[in-house]
Amino acid sequence: MKDFKYYFVYIMTNWNNKVMYVGITNNLMRRVYEHKNKLIDGFTKKYNINKLVYYETFQDVRAAIEREKEIKKWRREKKNKLVNTKNPEWRDLSEDFE
pLDDT average, residue stretch 44-68 = 97
Which domains occur in the chain, in start order? 7-97 (3.40.1440.10)
pLDDT value at position 68? 98
What's the rounded Cα separation, in Å, for the pair 59 and 4? 7
Tens-digit pLDDT profile for residues 6-40: 999 999 999 999 999 999 999 999 999 999 999 98
For the chain, percent of residues with pLDDT exceeding 70 = 97
pLDDT band for position 2 (50/70/90)? low
* 18: exposed, middle or buried (Cβ count in 10 Å: 0-12, 13-18, 19+): exposed
Mean pLDDT over each residue of the chain, to the nearest integer:
95
pTM for the whole structure: 0.93
